[in-house]
Every structure is written in structure tokens, then in C-alpha cells.
């Protein structure tokens, strides 16, 4: 077996693992990243697209934001279509902050490019990954690469391997607590070769259910429809998808999305999930490995970035001063942002989806809330503050919580 050594072993080359490796490199800390998928698969995987300003600032400040600044689409607001009536939420006016639309695959592409330029190890297509010795002073990652069994001995392991990875399940069940909620609906998402017909996102609550109009570039539209968790995609030919999108997104002023060829489609389940603590011995969990939010609030990728910013800072303090104070606080500090995002994502999901509880009271109550949220300045400000996200270094549990509003 080939044995190598590094300071931090990172499992997973998604946004969390790649950004962590990048921030550690900036702090002069060595790492090895192992990823079980092929490089092209990781780069082409289409997922999130809305970046909070904190994520944008982190990318720019750490030197990987050049293309993002050139190609990212900066949005000052978004709209909610309330049963045909379009209401705009002016994020910039309400909070002084904005969001940027830039595909997760583009973020990953930029981070892989930056990693390659450093010459530090990033291994794709590793198999049979396992972590061990997590409570010891030298935990290890074992895997097969190109037919050879290898072990990386580390000071610390970062579990950045997403919801279905192996790091979280390697923690004894009696050492963690899991909080979970699975929703009775899912999203049918499509990518279409069609110029966006609105410069901003449109969330829609229609009698037939939720829909979302979004974009990835000036030529590509990203659209979603509320569907059943076990929806059969073979029952959704392209013309049926467009009929449903046009019905749910169209508004009383005649706006509708441009129609074009659908290039990709898939069904994404909706789940809220948190593991506490986000640490076991010398292994720290970050991103989807530790928490999942339903995508309505666009928080998943942004939470992953905030986690690894905290972890990189804590590891830098360990190596620079020998203090583990920030490492000891890592889980508690991350969980404050995680639970804020969980509450917001759950709320936005409940506000905008058809719940089919069978009780008409629920739909009337939901409609009253939609009217309030899109008409009251106080309610719109709360929505906007959460949607643009809190600065990445925001402390959620202070004597007086600092808000993004000045
Ligand atoms: C289908 C889908 C659609 C989504 N849409 C949105 C959206 O619209 N908006 C939004 O904000 N969020 C969305 N999300 C969530 C967002 O994409 C995630 O929050 C984000 O990817 C988290 O990054 P991560 O690095 O923590 O995890 P991931 O991106 O999941 O990265 C984990 C990496 O670990 C690798 N890995 C897994 N197991 C192993 C192993 N055993 N060994 C080595 N490597 C391993 C994986 O291949 C992957 O590359 C979506 C997620 C999914 C699954």
C-alpha cells in the first residue's frame, strides 16, 4: 500500500472541498483532495446558481472571482407571481445587497483551475474511500486509485463529500444527532436553450403549484416545476413541460418565459437535514455532508462556502498559533447560520408550494401570507435580508445581532 502524508485530507471535490483546499493553500497549509467521480462529471454537474454576496466576496477576495465578475449576472431583485399578480422584491433597496447568478458548475470549474495551478494534489476517480482513526492524532483516508491501494495520513480530515458521502456515516450513531424533514413534493428542473425573458428570477405560486423561472446565462434559461417526489420523467415530454411552465409562470400583464429546446431535465427531492455536531474527533463535516436545505431559498451552496471559510480560519489558527479555540467552536458557529438558513428555506418552501393537506384553511392562510409578504415593507425587508444572505463572518448569537441593514 502506498502511504503519503498531508496536513488536511479532504474527501469530495464539490464546492466545499475545492474552496477549502483553495483557502488552506492561501494560508500555506497542505491538503490532498480525493473525489470519486471523474473530473468532467464534476465540472458538468448542473445544480445551484444563486450566489449570495458573501460567497461572491469570498471568491473575489481569495483570487478566484475574475470570471465571476466578468460573467456573473448581478440581480438587484426578484419577483413573486402571486396567482397572476407580479410583485417585485427590491433586494438592493431593502438591504443594500444583491445576488449574483453564476452556475455552481462555473464555480467548480474556476476552483479546479485554481487548484491545478497550485500543483497540490487533487485525485479524481478514486474508489472504495474510507476514513479511519478519527479520534487518533493521525486519522487516515484509504482508497483505490488507478488500481493501487493508497492511504493518506493527515492531521485533520474534512468531510466535504455531500449528502450521500461516506464521512458522516463513519461517525458512530450515538455520537451525533440528526434532525430531518422530507417534503411531500419535489422539483422537476429543466435547462432550456432560450434567452431569459426577464432579467430577474420569478417565483410563482399558481393554483396548479409552484414554478420558478431562473437563468444560467444570457442564452440559457433554468426552470422548475413542483411535482411529486416519485414523478416519472417519461410522462413529461418537452411540450407537456412547456405547457405547464407557461400556465404556472404567466401573469396578468402577459409576461411569460421564452420557449426553446430543453437540453437537460431531472427531478430533485426536497429535504431539510442537519447533523449535530459537525465534528467527530479530528474529522470536520462541511456543506451538504452536514446539512441539506430545500432549494427554494437558494442556500445550499452558500452554506457550504460559509462552513469552509470558518474551517479554513480555524485550521489556520491551529497551525499558526497552536490554539484550537476556533476548531472547538467550529460546529457551534456553523450551526447558527445553518439553522437560520434552515428556518428560512423551510418558510419559503411552505409559502410557495401547494401543500395538498386537504384542508382549504391552509391554502387561504398561505394566500394571506403571500399578500402580506409582497405588500408590507417590514415583511419584504425580512424576506430580502434572508435571501441576500448574511455576511460570511456574521455572528448570529451576539448580545445584539448585527443585521445587514444599516
Ligand atoms: C440535484 C441538485 C440540485 C440542486 N439545486 C440547487 C439550487 O438550485 N440552489 C441551491 O442553492 N442549491 C442547490 N442544490 C444544493 C447545492 O448544489 C449543494 O448545497 C452544494 O452542491 C453543496 O456543495 P458540497 O461541496 O457540500 O457538496 P457536493 O456538491 O455534493 O459535493 C460533494 C462531492 O463529494 C463527492 N463524493 C461523494 N462521495 C464521495 C466519496 N465516497 N469519496 C470521494 N468523493 C465523494 C461527490 O462526487 C461530490 O463531488 C442542489 C443539489 C442537488 C443534488
Grid cell for residue 50: 444563486
Whole-angstrom Cα distance, residue 337 to residue 389?
A: 10
- Cα(163) to centroid(ligand 1), Å: 7
Q: In Å, what is the CA distance from 263 to each residue of 8, 214, 221, 229, 372?
A: 39, 15, 10, 22, 37
Nearest atom in ligand 1 to 18's CA:
25
Residue of the CA atom closest to atom 30 of ligand 1: 162
Is the CB of 306 inside a 6 Å radius of any atom of ligand 1?
Answer: no
**E strand map for 15-77:** 31-34, 50-51, 73-75
Mutate to test the pocket of ligand 1, among 165, 186, 275, 302 (most ligand atoms within 8 A of CB): 165
Pairing of strands 50-51, 202-206: unpaired
Nearest atom in ligand 1 to 34's CA:
43
Cis amide leading into 277 (omega within 30): yes
Whole-angstrom Cα distance, residue 33 to residue 363?
A: 47
Asked whether 348 and 297 are in contact (CB, 8 A), the reply is yes
Is the CB of 300 inside a 6 Å radius of any atom of ligand 1?
Answer: yes
Whole-angstrom Cα distance, residue 9 to residue 31?
A: 6
In order along its 406 residues, the chain shows pLDDT tens digits of: 999 999 999 999 999 999 999 999 999 999 999 999 999 999 988 888 999 999 999 999 999 999 999 999 999 999 999 999 999 999 999 999 999 999 999 999 999 999 999 999 999 999 999 999 999 999 999 999 999 999 999 999 999 999 999 999 999 999 999 999 999 999 999 999 999 999 999 999 999 999 999 998 889 999 999 999 999 999 999 999 999 999 999 999 999 999 999 999 999 999 999 999 999 999 999 999 999 999 999 999 999 999 999 999 999 999 999 999 999 999 999 999 999 999 999 999 999 999 878 788 998 999 999 999 999 999 999 999 999 999 998 888 765 555 444 4
- Cα(108) to centroid(ligand 1), Å: 11
At 311, which helix (H) or strand (E)? helix 300-321
Q: Say what the pLDDT of residue 395 is.
A: 80
Residue of the CA atom closest to atom 51 of ligand 1: 47
Q: Mapping DSSP to helix (H, G, I), strand (E, B) and coil, where does residue 50 land? A: strand
- Cα(222) to centroid(ligand 1), Å: 18
Report the interhelical angle of 53-61 vs 300-321 (nearest 10°). Answer: 40
pLDDT tens digits for range 27-40: 999 999 999 999 99
Nearest atom in ligand 1 to 298's CA:
11
Provide the annotated active-site residues: 75, 203, 295, 299, 387
Amino acid at each position: 500500500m502506498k502511504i503519503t502524508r498531508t496536513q488536511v485530507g479532504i474527501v469530495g471535490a464539490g464546492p466545499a472541498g475545492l474552496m477549502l483546499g483553495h483557502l488552506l493553500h492561501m494560508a500555506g497549509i497542505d491538503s490532498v483532495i480525493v473525489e470519486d467521480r471523474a473530473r468532467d462529471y464534476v465540472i458538468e454537474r448542473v445544480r445551484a446558481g444563486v450566489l449570495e454576496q458573501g460567497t461572491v466576496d469570498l471568491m473575489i477576495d481569495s483570487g478566484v472571482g475574475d470570471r465571476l465578475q466578468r460573467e456573473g449576472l448581478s440581480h438587484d431583485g426578484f419577483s413573486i407571481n402571486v396567482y397572476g399578480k407580479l410583485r417585485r422584491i427590491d433586494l438592493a433597496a431593502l438591504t443594500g445587497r444583491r445576488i449574483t447568478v453564476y452556475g455552481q458548475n462555473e464555480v467548480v470549474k474556476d476552483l479546479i483551475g485554481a487548484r491545478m495551478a497550485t500543483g497540490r494534489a487533487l485525485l479524481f476517480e478514486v474508489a472504495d474511500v474510507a476514513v479511519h482513526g478519527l479520534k487518533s492524532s493521525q486519522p487516515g483516508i484509504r482508497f483505490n486509485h488507478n488500481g493501487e491501494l493508497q492511504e493518506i495520513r493527515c492531521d485533520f480530515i474534512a468531510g466535504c463529500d455531500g449528502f450521500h458521502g461516506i464521512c458522516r456515516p463513519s461517525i458512530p450513531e450515538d455520537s451525533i444527532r440528526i434532525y430531518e424533514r422530507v417534503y411531500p413534493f419535489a422539483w422537476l428542473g429543466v435547462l432550456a436553450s432560450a434567452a431569459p425573458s426577464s432579467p430577474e428570477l420569478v417565483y410563482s405560486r399558481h393554483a396548479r403549484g409552484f414554478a420558478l423561472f431562473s437563468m444560467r446565462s444570457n442564452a440559457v434559461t433554468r426552470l422548475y416545476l413542483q411535482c411529486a417526489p416519485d414523478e416519472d420523467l417519461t410522462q413529461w415530454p418537452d411540450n407537456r413541460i412547456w405547457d405547464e411552465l407557461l400556465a404556472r409562470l404567466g401573469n396578468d400583464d402577459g409576461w411569460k418565459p421564452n420557449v426553446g429546446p430543453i437540453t437537460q431535465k431531472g427531478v430533485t427531492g426536497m429535504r431539510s437535514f442537519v447533523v449535530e455536531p459537525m465534528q467527530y474527533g479530528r474529522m470536520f463535516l462541511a456543506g451538504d455532508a452536514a446539512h441539506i436545505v430545500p432549494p427554494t431559498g437558494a442556500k445550499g451552496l452558500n452554506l457550504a462556502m460559509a462552513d469552509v471559510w470558518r474551517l479554513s480560519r480555524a485550521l489556520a489558527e491551529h497551525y499558526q498559533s497552536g490554539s484550537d479555540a476556533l476548531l472547538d467552536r467550529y460546529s457551534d458557529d456553523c450551526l447558527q447560520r445553518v439553522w437560520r438558513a434552515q428556518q428560512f428555506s423551510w418558510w419559503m418552501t411552505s409559502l410557495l408550494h401547494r401543500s395538498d393537506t386537504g384542508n382549504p384553511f391552509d391554502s387561504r392562510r398561505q394566500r394571506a401570507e403571500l399578500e402580506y409578504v409582497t405588500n408590507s415593507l417590514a415583511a419584504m425587508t425580512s424576506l430580502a435580508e434572508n435571501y441576500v444572505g448574511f455576511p460570511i463572518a456574521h455572528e448570529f448569537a451576539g448580545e445584539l445581532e448585527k443585521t445587514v441593514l444599516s
